[in-house]
């Protein structure tokens, strides 16, 4: 992720930074990446001919297809509901992700098959589209404060009209999947904010 490509939602209180010792504004509880990494890697002068991108969908070179979604994690210190159950669609029903405020979210992109991309596009404004079965995808962004996330397999669950798909990480050994299952403490949220503030990611 790059600072210039992020937007975020914040917690209510500022925090004392363990890196610089300064008081920072409230730690964000939502980070959103504005484009797939593959789009960002295309030289500016080539984007007009190679890419089609909106706020929610992206096509590269007429052969790579991306949707914008959300990885939602409970905030443990303020969350009394059980963490979402992570299930592999190949071995059981689709996971039900409970979105109980407050929560932490990564807004990121996922690469999907042409079939699932065009089906999603077809149902974009169709009420009841959330009844569609979940489908596989692969994360299209590197979250640099985790082990490698680019290409990480996810389950894409369509949401009601006006809401982005929910992404469930399937590799239960990956730290991101584990945090999606168990939730984040406010200390962990602060740690993520410190990493992004003081350890700029490669451009």
Confirm if 169 and 152 have CB atoms less than 8 A apart: yes
Range of the domain at 148: 28-185
Residue 191 counted as domain residue:
no
Say if 51 falls within a structural domain: yes
pLDDT at 13: 63
- DSSP 3-state assignment of 98? coil
Quote the CA–CA distance of 13 and 88 in Å, as a whole number: 37
> Which residue from 107, 117, 18 is spatially nearest to 65, judged by alpha carbons?
117
Q: DSSP per residue over 180-195, as a string?
A: HHH-B-HHHHHHHHHH
Residue 65 domain-assigned?
A: yes
Domain-located, residue 142: yes
Query: Total structural domains in the chain?
Result: 1
Task: Kindly calculate the radius of gyration of the chain based on its CA atoms and give it in whole angstroms.
Answer: 17
Decide if 92 is inside a domain: yes
pLDDT score recorded for residue 136:
98
pLDDT, averaged in runs of 10, over the chain (203 residues)? 41 63 75 95 96 97 98 76 41 44 89 98 97 98 93 98 97 96 89 76 50
Indicate whether 197 belongs to any domain. no
What is the pLDDT at residue 49?
A: 97
Q: Which helix (H) or strand (E) holds 1?
A: none
pTM to 2 decimals? 0.79
pLDDT for res 85: 41
Q: Is residue 198 part of a domain?
A: no
Say if residues 132 and 138 touch (Cβ distance below 8 Å).
no
Instruction: Look up residue 40 and give its DSSP letter.
Output: H
Domain assignment present for residue 120? The answer is yes
pLDDT value for 26: 73
């Amino acid at each position: 992720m790059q600072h210039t490509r992020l937007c975020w939602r914040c917690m209510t209180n500022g925090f004392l930074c363990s890196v610089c010792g300064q008081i920072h504004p409230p730690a964000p509880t939502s980070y959103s990446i504005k484009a797939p990494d593959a789009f960002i890697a295309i030289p500016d002068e080539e984007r007009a001919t190679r890419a089609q991108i909106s706020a929610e969908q992206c096509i590269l070179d007429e052969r790579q297809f991306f949707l914008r979604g959300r990885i939602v994690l409970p905030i443990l210190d303020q969350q009394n509901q059980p963490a979402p159950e992570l299930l592999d669609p190949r071995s059981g029903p689709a996971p039900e992700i409970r979105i109980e405020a407050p929560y932490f979210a990564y807004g990121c992109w996922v690469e999907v098959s042409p079939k699932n991309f065009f089906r999603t596009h077809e149902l974009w404004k169709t009420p009841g589209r959330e009844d569609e079965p979940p489908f596989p995808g692969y994360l299209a962004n590197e979250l640099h404060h985790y082990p490698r996330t680019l290409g990480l397999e996810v389950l894409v669950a369509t949401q009601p009209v006006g809401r982005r798909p929910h992404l469930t990480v399937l590799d239960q050994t990956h730290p991101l999947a584990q945090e999606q299952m168990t939730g984040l403490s406010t200390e962990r949220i602060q740690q993520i904010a410190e990493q992004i503030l003081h350890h700029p990611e490669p451009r």
